[in-house]
């Protein structure tokens, strides 16, 4: 079995600044660090580190070879990542001495995927494979429809929230991931709670409160509390959680076990500064003491 992830790949450029720039100000940074990021890349790394075969479908620019190499190092199958002329997606993240930040996001190559590229990749998937989507690329609606037609299990994290993108994929979804804010935004956009939109499995993550799974088939609600850790950086916790749940399901675990493993991985993740580069592997996740 495999996980097919139509997902973003970003360079996160983190500039340390004495203060956040005011309009018109020129400011010298104190430090620059570059990390692999993007919701798609984070999820691919998480699912691969959790032990699944993950095929990432995406695009980078001429400046993105390092990101593809990094994904490969983390065990992601990168054969379906195209290199195109548009620059690689990136986030310019300014952080001041208090840890407050300002972010400029340039989607770049992430929004230049083509129907041909998508079709070529998804046609290699086997029935029962997982297809996962988020909102940092284009082509989500087309991918979801294609996935459903091919008998894939279509999963979607509605982040960053975009009402139009959600409505385009909703009819084709098997599993929907939302955080608390996105669940409210979706209810506002559709006029119905996320659990009443016809998707068979819905998971709402609740930060330090844990996560809740709703099964449409059985009507059951399952609460998995978060683990008690001292959070230093919650960036990427949601993506790690999603990647681990998908990997658990891909490897045949029932939902409660998949979510418990994901909860352990996400708890470890919030104790570490950084994103894709610090996502724990399966052994660390299983061995961790909380």
Give least dist CB 244 to ligand ATP, A: 10
Diameter of the chain measured on Cα atoms: 58
- Closest Cα partner for 204 from 193, 215, 217, 213? 213
Report whether 210 belongs to an annotated binding site. Answer: yes
Catalytic: 63? no
Contact region for ligand ATP (CB under 6 A) — 5-13, 86-94, 140-148, 238-246? 238-246
Which residue reads 């590229």 in tokens?
Answer: 117
Phi, psi of 228 (to 5 degrees): -80, 105
> How far apart are alpha carbons 240 and 39 in whole angstroms?
9
Q: What are the beta bridge partners of residue 203?
A: 177, 213
Number of residues that bind ligand ATP (CB under 6 A): 22
Q: Binding of ligand ATP at residue 208 (CB under 6 A)?
A: yes
Report whether 274 belongs to an annotated binding site. Answer: yes
Residue 258 or 270 having the CB closest to ligand ATP = 270
Among 21, 107, 193, 210, binds ligand ATP (CB under 6 A): 210
Q: List strands edge to edge, sheet with 101-106.
A: 31-37, 10-16, 89-95, 101-106
Report whether 205 belongs to an annotated binding site. Answer: yes
CA torsion 223-201-43-269 (nearest 10°) is 0
Q: Binding of ligand ATP at residue 205 (CB under 6 A)?
A: yes
- Cis ω for the linkage preceding 46 (within 30 of 0): no
Q: Binding of ligand ATP at residue 229 (CB under 6 A)?
A: yes
Give least dist CB 136 to ligand ATP, A: 12
Q: How buried is residue 218: exposed, middle or buried, by Cβ count under 10 Å (0-12/13-18/19+)?
A: exposed
Mask 259-288, x = binds ligand ATP (CB under 6 A)? ----x--xx--x------------------
- CB burial readout 44-67, b (16+ within 10 A) else e: bbbbbbbbbbbbbbbbbbeebeeb
Give least dist CB 75 to ligand ATP, A: 21
Report whether 138 belongs to an annotated binding site. Answer: no
Report whether 61 belongs to an annotated binding site. Answer: no
> How far apart are alpha carbons 96 and 203 in whole angstroms?
34
Q: Binding of ligand ATP at residue 231 (CB under 6 A)?
A: yes
> How far apart are alpha carbons 153 and 150 in whole angstroms?
9
Q: What are the beta bridge partners of residue 157?
A: 177
The single residue of 77, 174, 239, 250 carrying the catalytic annotation is 239
- Closest Cα partner for 155 from 201, 221, 211, 210? 201
Q: Binding of ligand ATP at residue 235 (CB under 6 A)?
A: yes
Q: Binding of ligand ATP at residue 207 (CB under 6 A)?
A: yes
Numbered residues of the known binding site for K(+): 233, 235, 269, 272, 274
By CB under 6 A, name the binding residues for ligand ATP.
179, 205-208, 210-211, 226-227, 229, 231, 234-239, 241, 263, 266-267, 270
Annotated binding site: 10-12, 38-42, 136, 179, 205-210, 233, 235, 238-239, 269, 272, 274
- Binding site membership for substrate: which residues? 10-12, 38-42, 136, 239
Which residues participate in catalysis according to the annotation? 239
Q: Which residues are annotated as a binding site for ATP?
A: 179, 205-210, 238-239
């Amino acid at each position: 079995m495999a996980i097919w992830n139509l997902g973003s790949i970003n360079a996160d450029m983190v500039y340390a600044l004495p203060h956040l720039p005011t309009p018109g100000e020129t400011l010298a940074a104190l430090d620059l660090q570059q990390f692999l990021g993007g919701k798609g890349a984070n999820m691919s790394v998480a699912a691969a580190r959790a032990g699944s075969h993950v095929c990432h479908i995406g695009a980078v620019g001429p400046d993105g070879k390092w990101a593809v190499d990094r994904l490969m190092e983390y065990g992601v199958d990168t054969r379906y990542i195209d290199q195109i002329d548009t620059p690689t997606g990136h986030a310019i993240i300014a952080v001041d001495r208090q840890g407050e930040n300002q972010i400029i996001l340039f989607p770049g190559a992430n929004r230049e995927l083509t129907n041909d590229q998508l079709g070529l990749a998804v046609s290699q998937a086997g029935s029962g494979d997982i297809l996962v989507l988020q909102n940092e690329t284009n082509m989500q609606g087309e991918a979801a429809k294609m996935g459903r037609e091919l008998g894939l299990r279509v999963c979607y994290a509605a982040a960053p929230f975009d009402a139009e993108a959600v409505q385009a994929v909703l009819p084709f979804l098997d599993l929907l991931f939302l955080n608390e804010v996105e669940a409210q935004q979706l209810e506002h956009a559709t006029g119905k709670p996320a659990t009443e939109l016809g998707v068979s499995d819905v998971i709402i993550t609740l930060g330090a409160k844990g996560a809740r799974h709703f099964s449409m088939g059985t009507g059951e609600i399952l609460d998995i509390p978060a683990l008690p850790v001292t959070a230093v950086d919650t960036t990427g916790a949601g993506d790690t959680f999603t990647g681990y749940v998908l990997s658990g399901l891909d490897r045949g675990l029932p939902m409660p076990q998949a979510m418990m493993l994901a909860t352990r991985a996400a708890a470890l993740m919030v104790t570490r500064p950084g994103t894709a580069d610090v996502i724990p592997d399966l052994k660390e996740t299983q061995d961790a003491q909380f």
